[in-house]
């Protein structure tokens, strides 16, 4: 999308001082088309189109006729280029169509979801963020593509456990004994406190919608069937930022190692009491990742740390407070509170919530709501067999039967299938209608074509739910694709926007072909243009210098001394003389040798570069407009530089290489101006001011 936006900036922010070339101004529009504001070549432009584009590209509060005239010239220039691009079929290439399709996909997204449903999700998520819930759960695992038999067995198991919990059996004991979540063996299913976006959406919803002390209904996630018991609900405590020192302790640590760890953490505490800084003591932490940053950890809220660590951190009162040693499953910790914050306002949180929803299962709700609306709007219906002898439609795949009509009656015929990966050629159908959308029949053949693209490769135990899922996916995709195909028809603003992008991409490619790349690639033309206009490219006064940049003032002072004593060996000791490789009777400190010496113990301690400064570009050089060393100047990053002014020059002509950037820019302007003259002759324009000035009068 950057190309298109850059193009609009080029087209509509170009200097308004343009010639009116080949434009006829009439006071009155044709009587048979009173809304026409102009002709550009063969194209008619009506006021509504012009006004829409004008308003989009202008923020002027008080638009004058003069300003409108100038803008009209720009608009006509744009139209002429678009007409040229269309005549030369620049919108027919594969690359163009691919790029436009990419933009369309982005622009269509807001239209292919139920915005009201998404707004409800944002509000729901923020309302949940105000609270933290604590829940215990029982999981009976079942794969998403399990057979109906396995699915039913898992469902019956969780149903029996729920009934036992409702009758008063201890939920934690049931979780420890029966839950397939391995952690339940030690935590009795207790998940601690958590808030929105910490669990999968269906689990989160069950936790927030179940009253405290009650057991939820049965619900399913990608992991299997669950029930949960709501233990508590409290106001969200927000987030904290802490630093910590950790002494790691393995699960299999010996008693001697455990004793040594306790002694080590007590020694750390004593050092803190004796005045050692917390940041200094983090060098002894076994958490090496955080130790590099003074033990600092990222912000966290409920459910993101183990309970012992989380509770200790939140119980610290004020920034700077340090906890007593605590033990977790990872070892021993000492925690320092750095900062705390509550939940953000809705306005501050809204964008983040929307981004999280896009990555979350709940994002499907907006699409699901839209699909339901599409089905209703376009009279979606499931196809029915007309045969008196059978009430199903048959697919044959490797001698096997798919009974789709019975599936529409909520039966599971797919489950009788036993097959492996297949291809479209082996898939025969009777061509019967499976569903109808907006009067269009979608048949078994259409579904077979869909399956040929979204191939199935599963074992026989999983074939039933996978084929069902593919069928539902096909129906949903068909509904969304059909709605997508209607966007220009249903939404005039979308149609107008797509036209802008269509024209914009064409014009960008055209300008690149006719002006931008041409000026760069036409080496001979560029050189000829330079030779014709070389007097326009001259240097201002400038100083040719060598710049020395050092990390600190001491290094700068040492470098300055060496430069001032290039021929004086007394500025070096014998070790430095030997390091620099001076032979007997030889001595001259070149820049290369100075650089080697100054960076002997620390890389990049000194940097040397050649620079040309035009007058007025550097205060340091301007204040020393004569041969020799300038004063020191300190940069924002603390580095120190000075310059050795070698030569002063005044007003000589730039070579082609020195002026190349300016020459390219000017040559591009020349090419565009010449091309505009051709376009003005090819596409004369006529403006009807009585219509145009309605925008300002």
Give pLDDT tens digits for 8-58: 444 444 333 333 556 778 778 887 888 999 999 999 999 988 988 888 877
pLDDT for 6: 46
302 and 407 both lie in a single domain? no
> Is the same domain home to 219 and 308?
no
Helix axes 523-533, 656-682, angle to 10 degrees: 100
Task: Give the C-alpha separation, 130 to 142, whole Å.
Answer: 33
Q: Residue 71 falls within a domain, yes or no?
A: no
pLDDT score for 148: 75
Domain count, the chain: 4
Mention every residue, 6+ apart, whose C-beta is less than 8 A from residue 104: 498, 501
Residue 464: pLDDT band by 50, 70, 90 thresholds?
A: low
By mean pLDDT, which of 376-390, 489-503, 527-541, 587-601 is the weakest? 376-390
Q: Is residue 526 part of a domain?
A: no
The answer as to whether 428 is a domain residue is yes
Strands (E) in 495-541, as ranges, are none
In the three-class reduction of DSSP (H, G, I as helix; E, B as strand; rest coil), residue 457 is classed as coil
Please tell me whether residues 377 and 482 are part of one structural domain: yes
**SS (HEC) of 460-493:** HHHHHHHHHHHHHHHHHHHHHHHHHHCHHHHCHH
User: Whole-angstrom Cα distance, residue 104 to residue 82?
Assistant: 19
606-643 tens-digit pLDDT: 999 999 898 888 888 999 999 999 999 888 888 999 99
On whether both 255 and 225 belong to a single domain, the answer is no
Question: What is the model's pLDDT at position 411?
Answer: 34
Q: Indicate if 443 and 424 belong to the same structural domain.
A: yes
Out of 175, 204, 235, a domain closes at 235
Residue at a domain's end among 173, 200, 235: 235
Specify whether 310 is located in the same domain as 377. Answer: no
| Antiparallel, parallel or unpaired: β 23-26 and 685-688 | parallel
Q: How confident is the model at residue 216 (pLDDT cuts 50, 70, 90)?
A: very high
Q: Are residues 480 and 382 in the same domain?
A: yes
Residues 6+ apart with CB under 8 A from 661: none
Structural domain span for residue 323: 239-341
CB 137 within 8 A of CB 183: no
- For residue 164, is it within any domain? yes
312: how many CB neighbours lie within 10 A of its CB? 21
Which of the given ranges, 46-60, 218-232, 347-361, has the highest pLDDT on average? Answer: 218-232
Distance CA 96, CA 510 (A): 12
Give yes or no: residues 202 and 298 share one domain: no
CATH number (domain holding residue 147):
3.10.50.40
Domain identity same for 378 and 326:
no
Q: Could you tell me the two tokens for 674? A: 């010449």
Count CB-CB contacts under 10 A for residue 103: 19
Check residue 465 and give its pLDDT.
59
- Section 315-343 average pLDDT: 94
- With 0.75 as the threshold, say if the pTM is over it: no
Same domain, 229 and 245: no
* Predicted confidence (pLDDT) per residue in 251-296, tens digit: 888 999 999 999 999 999 999 999 899 998 999 999 999 998 999 9
- The sign of the dihedral angle between the CA atoms of 509, 510, 513, 517 is negative
In this structure, are residues 687 and 22 in contact, taking their beta carbons and an 8 Å threshold? Answer: no
CA–CA separation, 656 and 663 (whole Å): 8
Band of residue 383 on the pLDDT scale cut at 50, 70, 90: low
Q: Which of 211, 235, 259 is the last residue of a domain?
A: 235
Round to whole Å and give the CA distance between 126 and 659. Answer: 58
Average pLDDT over residues 661-689: 94
State the pLDDT confidence band at 390, using cuts at 50, 70 and 90. Answer: very low
Q: In what order do the strands lie in the sheet with 131-141?
A: 190-194, 131-141, 224-235, 219-221
pLDDT of 501 over the 50 cut: yes
CA separation, residue 25 to residues 3, 68, 689 (Å) = 34, 13, 7
Largest CA distance in the chain: 116
What is the predicted pLDDT for the residue at 424? 59
User: Is residue 509 pLDDT above 80, yes or no?
Assistant: yes
Average model confidence (pLDDT) for the chain? 86
Q: Is residue 105 part of a domain?
A: no
Stated length of the chain: 697
Tokens of 694: 């309605």
Same domain, 178 and 204: yes
Model confidence over 103-159: pLDDT tens digits?
Answer: 999 999 889 888 888 899 999 999 999 999 999 999 999 987 777 788 889 999 999
d(CA 650, CA 102): 53
Token representation of residue 484:
């997508």
Residue 72 lies in a domain: no
Q: Do the beta carbons of residue 68 and residue 693 sit within 8 Å? A: yes
Cα distance between residue 321 and residue 335, in whole Å: 8
Please tell me the distance from the alpha carbon of residue 110 to that of residue 42, in angstroms, as a whole number.
35
- pLDDT confidence tier of residue 400, bands split at 50, 70 and 90: very low
- Residue 176: how many other CB atoms lie within 10 Å: 16
Instruction: Give Rg (Cα) of the chain.
Output: 38
For residue 142, is it within any domain?
Answer: yes
User: Do residues 262 and 280 both lie within one domain?
Assistant: yes
Q: Note whether residue 246 is domain-resident.
A: yes
Residue 165 clears pLDDT 80, i.e. is over it: yes
Angle, helices 492-511/2-13, rounded to nearest 10 degrees: 80
Phi/psi at 436 (nearest 5 deg)? -125, 135
Q: Is 384's pLDDT higher than 80? A: no
């Amino acid at each position: 999308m950057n190309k298109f936006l850059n193009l609009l900036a080029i087209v509509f922010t170009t200097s308004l001082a343009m010639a009116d070339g080949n434009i006829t101004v009439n006071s009155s529009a044709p009587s048979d088309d009173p809304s026409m504001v102009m002709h550009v070549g063969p194209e008619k432009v009506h006021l509504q189109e012009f006004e829409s584009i004008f308003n989009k590209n202008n923020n002027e509060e008080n638009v004058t006729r003069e300003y409108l005239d100038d803008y009209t010239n720009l608009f006509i220039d744009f139209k002429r280029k678009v007409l040229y691009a269309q005549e030369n079929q620049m919108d027919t290439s594969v690359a163009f169509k691919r790029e436009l399709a990419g933009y369309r996909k982005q622009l269509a997204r807001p239209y292919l979801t139920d915005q009201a449903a998404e707004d409800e999700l944002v509000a729901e998520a923020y309302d949940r963020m105000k609270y933290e819930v604590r829940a215990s759960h029982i999981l009976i695992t079942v794969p998403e593509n399990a057979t109906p038999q396995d699915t039913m067995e898992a469902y019956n198991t969780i149903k029996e456990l729920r009934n036992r919990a409702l009758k008063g059996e201890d939920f934690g004991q049931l979780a420890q004994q029966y839950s397939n979540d391995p952690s339940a063996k030690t935590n009795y299913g207790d998940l601690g406190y958590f808030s929105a976006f910490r669990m999968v959406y269906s689990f989160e919803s069950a936790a927030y919608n179940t009253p405290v002390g009650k057991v939820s209904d049965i619900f399913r996630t990608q992991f299997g069937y669950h029930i949960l018991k709501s233990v508590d609900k409290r106001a969200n405590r927000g987030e904290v930022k802490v630093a910590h020192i950790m002494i790691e302790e393995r699960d299999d640590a010996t008693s001697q190692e455990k004793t040594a760890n306790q002694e080590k953490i007590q020694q750390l505490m004593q050092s803190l009491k004796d005045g050692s800084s917390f940041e200094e003591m983090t060098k002894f932490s076994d958490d090496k990742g955080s130790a590099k940053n003074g033990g600092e950890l990222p912000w966290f809220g409920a459910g993101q740390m183990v309970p012992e660590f989380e509770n200790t951190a939140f119980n610290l009162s004020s920034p700077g407070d340090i906890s007593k040693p605590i033990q977790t499953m990872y070892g021993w910790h000492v925690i320092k509170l750095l900062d705390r914050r509550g939940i953000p306002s809705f306005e501050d949180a809204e964008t983040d919530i929307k981004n999280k929803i896009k990555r979350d299962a709940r994002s499907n709700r907006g699409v699901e709501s839209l699909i339901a609306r599409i089905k209703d709007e376009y009279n979606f219906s499931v196809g029915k067999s007309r045969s008196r002898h059978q009430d199903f439609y048959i697919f044959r795949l490797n001698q096997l039967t798919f009974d789709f009509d019975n599936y529409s009656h909520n039966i599971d015929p797919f489950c009788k299938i036993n097959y492996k990966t297949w291809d479209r050629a082996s898939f025969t159908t009777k061509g019967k209608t499976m569903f109808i959308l907006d009067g269009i029949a979608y048949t078994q053949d259409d579904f077979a074509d869909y399956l040929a693209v979204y191939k199935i490769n599963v074992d026989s135990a999983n074939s039933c739910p996978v084929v069902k899922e593919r069928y539902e996916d096909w129906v949903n995709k068909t509904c969304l694709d059909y709605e997508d195909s209607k966007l220009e028809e249903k939404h005039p603003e979308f149609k107008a926007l797509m036209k802008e992008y269509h024209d914009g991409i064409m014009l960008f490619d055209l300008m690149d072909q006719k002006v931008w790349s041409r000026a760069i690639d036409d080496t001979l033309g560029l050189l000829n243009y330079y030779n014709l206009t070389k007097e326009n490219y001259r240097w201002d006064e400038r100083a040719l210098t060598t710049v020395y940049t050092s990390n600190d003032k001491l290094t700068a002072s040492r470098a300055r001394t060496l430069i001032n004593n290039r021929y004086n060996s007394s500025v070096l000791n014998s070790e430095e003389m030997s390091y620099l490789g001076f032979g007997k009777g030889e001595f001259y400190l070149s820049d290369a040798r100075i650089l080697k010496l100054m960076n002997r113990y620390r890389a990049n301690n000194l940097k040397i570069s050649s620079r040309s400064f035009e007058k007025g570009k550097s205060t340091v050089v301007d204040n020393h407009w004569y041969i020799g060393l300038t004063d020191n100047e300190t940069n924002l990053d603390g580095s120190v530089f000075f310059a050795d002014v070698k030569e002063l020059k005044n007003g000589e002509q730039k070579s082609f290489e020195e002026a190349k950037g300016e020459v390219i820019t000017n040559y591009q302007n020349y090419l565009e101006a010449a091309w505009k003259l051709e376009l003005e002759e090819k596409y004369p324009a006529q403006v009807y001011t009585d219509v145009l000035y309605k925008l300002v009068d």
